[in-house]
A = this chain, B = another copy of it.
Amino acid sequence: MANDAGVRRSSMREVARAAGVSVSTVANVLSRPAIVAPETRRRVEQAIRHMGYVRHGPARQLRGLPSPIVGSVILDLANPFFAELNRGIEDRLAEAGCLVLACSTDLQPAKERQVLDLLEEQAVRGVIIAPIGPDPAVLLEMSRRGTPVVLVDRPRDGLDLCAVGVDDVLGGRLAAEHLLSLGHRRIVYLGGTFETGTVIRRREGVRQAMRAAGLDPDDLLIDLRLPIHPPPLVEAAAAGVQQILAERPLPTAVLCLNDTAALGVLHGLGVAGVKVPQDISVVGYDNLAFAAGLAPALTTVNQPKYQLGRAAADLLLDEARPDHAHREIRFRPSLVIRASTAPPRRA
């Protein structure tokens, strides 16, 4: 009751006593002020101000009001892609008076489980999640138990949930088609030792583009995988440059799993004295704020990060409506050609 500073929130009962009315009148002043006599209302409002009374959310929730809190469970909030996505969620929710409980899972399934349990215990309004693994069982159960779940970056696949995402296969295809049309025939796909569905689907898009061009992906594509979690991705990518340069014949282009990895690769290549794009072309993914400012400016695939977040929040809020039907919203990525790609040296 009393916290350790000896302070205690005042309750409605105390306000009521101070104003000389009943608790229900205080409740009315707060929830339907119109039905309270002006003079009574004035007295109650004054008491509220005077005592610094603040409504107790958990108690209201216990009475059946919906929680204003929505959980956002994503891979890493410090990753600018997710940070911006999260801003989209936050802003859309704010319009509905809701707040975001943001949780990073760092690709660790145990963390994901733990956070989901906590969120369900808190009886949040719902959860928006970019799941680590492909198994939706836990999420379906949560949803069945009454906590709405919206998927991000994972296709709906007929699941009984809402989903928002970007067409990753298309994104991979766009990037690959660009390189192929420049004449590249020896291309590294720089992925991770542990990959989310998005990265896997993009690689599939890359292979698709090659097949569509009448080429054999197994000949053209070199799969390299960075250790993801420690060390920081920029450094892992910079270190990965050694592996790229060790390939024979030397690759002429690198498709990176995201812009941060591309940043590391650019740096590593610079240190190694390899010129971009003259010696090697580099393509990023995400189109983060810094991509245009790099030297050379980074060719990359743009994703509507903020809009993804807004859309996810939209769907989540819609779950409260009686006529809600689960659905999927899918955005299209787009290629942004800048200065880090060019035809290979001797085409």
Which residues of A line the B interface, CB within 8 A? 1, 3-5, 7-9, 52, 54-59, 61-62, 64, 67-69, 76-78, 80, 83-84, 86-87, 90, 94, 97, 99-104, 111, 115, 117-123, 141, 144-146, 148, 232, 234, 260, 263-264, 266-267, 270, 289-290, 292-296, 319-322, 324
Q: How far is the CA of A222 from the CA of B77 in the complex (A)?
A: 37
Task: Report which of B8, B9, B64, B103 forms a contact with A90, defined as CB distance below 8 A.
Answer: B103
Q: Hey, which chain B residues are within 8 Å of A69, CB to CB? A: 69, 101, 122
**Considering only CB atoms, which chain B residue lies closest to A266 in the complex?**
B293
Question: What is the distance, in angstroms, from A265's C-beta to the closest C-beta of chain B?
Answer: 10
Copies of this chain assembled into the complex: 2
- CB-based contact A101/B100 at 8 Å: yes
Q: How far is the CA of A4 from the CA of B317 in the complex (A)?
A: 12
Q: Hey, which chain B residues are within 8 Å of A86, CB to CB? A: 77-78, 102
Question: What is the distance, in angstroms, from A239's C-beta to the closest C-beta of chain B?
Answer: 14
- CB-based contact A61/B64 at 8 Å: no
- CB-based contact B62/A146 at 8 Å: no
Task: Report which of B1, B4, B101, B145 forms a contact with A64, defined as CB distance below 8 A.
Answer: B1
Q: Given contacts A80-B78, A293-B294, A322-B4, is CB(A90)–CB(B118) below 8 Å?
A: no
Q: Hey, which chain B residues are within 8 Å of A292, CB to CB? A: 234, 267
Interface centre among A101, A234, A260, A320 (most CB of B within 10 A): A101
